[in-house]
Amino acid sequence: MTQYRWVRTEPLRIFIGFDSKEPVAYHVLAHSILRRATVPVMIAPLVQSALRASGLYTRERGATESTEFSLTRFLVPALCGFRGHAVFMDCDMLCRVDVDHLWDEIMAHSAAVLVCQHDYTPREGVKFLGHQQTVYPRKNWSSFMVFDNSRCAALTPAYVNGASGLELHRFAWTDDHQIGALPLDWNWLVGDYEPNDAAKIYHYTLGGPWFDATNDCDHADLWFEESALMLHAEQREVPA
């Protein structure tokens, strides 16, 4: 008997934080997603300069914001018109699975936002590029988020531009029971957690292989392999 697969009518929207100091991280992550996807996806970089030019993002950069997308990530529901689902990912990640599997998690939960609910304290006091490591409850929960956009109506541009960074990253904009838990292998913290060959998403939160100082971190070989595949172009004969 033929098995018919349910087909979604809209692509999975994935927003990736973009930082001008590490554009290669964005491109390799996007490639790792596209290479494995079996469903249509739409990938968009969150470029702060573009968000400012559009008037959506107006706040000054704070001293504790280590990347250009530290707070712009919370504009994702507004960018989607508060409709459907969307994913946010830090750029310093590598996808190792078909993102279609995220739909299994979405269908299994009833929540405004799904995150990996890490319970840890960073071992390092300094992040990549010499940025101070900020320690707070729910650290790294916001580095990978699956939004049910209609249930995140509090995240208006006005709120995102006015709320404190801690309010945003600690999810003060929703009720605790609206924060669903994803398995940690969707946001495996390289260097903070033990090596894990089965992780779905590697998060090089202490600095990725694209930086000289951390080019020998755990699972660096997988990132370099993905980078090489991205740069590969099949050679074809040019017609005479």
> Which region among 63-67, 74-78, 167-171 has the lowest average model confidence (pLDDT)?
63-67
Q: How far apart are CA 99 and CA 101, in angstroms?
A: 5
* Amino acid 238: pLDDT: 55
Cβ pair 103, 8 in contact under 8 A: yes
CATH class, domain 12-231, is: alpha beta
Q: What digits encode the pLDDT tens for the residues 201-236?
A: 999 999 999 999 999 999 999 999 999 999 987 765
* Amino acid 4: pLDDT: 42
* Amino acid 120: pLDDT: 76
Q: How far apart are CA 229 and CA 223, in angstroms?
A: 10
* Amino acid 3: pLDDT: 45
Q: How far apart are CA 92 and CA 193, in angstroms?
A: 16
Q: What digits encode the pLDDT tens for the residues 148-197?
A: 999 999 999 999 999 999 999 999 999 999 999 999 999 999 999 999 99
Please say if the pLDDT value at position 125 is more than 80.
Answer: no
* Amino acid 232: pLDDT: 87
Cβ pair 205, 199 in contact under 8 A: no
- Average per-residue pLDDT in the chain? 91
Q: How far apart are CA 73 and CA 95, in angstroms?
A: 18
* Amino acid 108: pLDDT: 92
Q: Which residues pair with 88 in a beta bridge?
A: 15, 145
Quote the pTM value: 0.89
Per domain, the residue ranges of the chain are: 12-231
List the one residue out of 117, 122, 124 whose CA is nearest residue 138.
Answer: 117
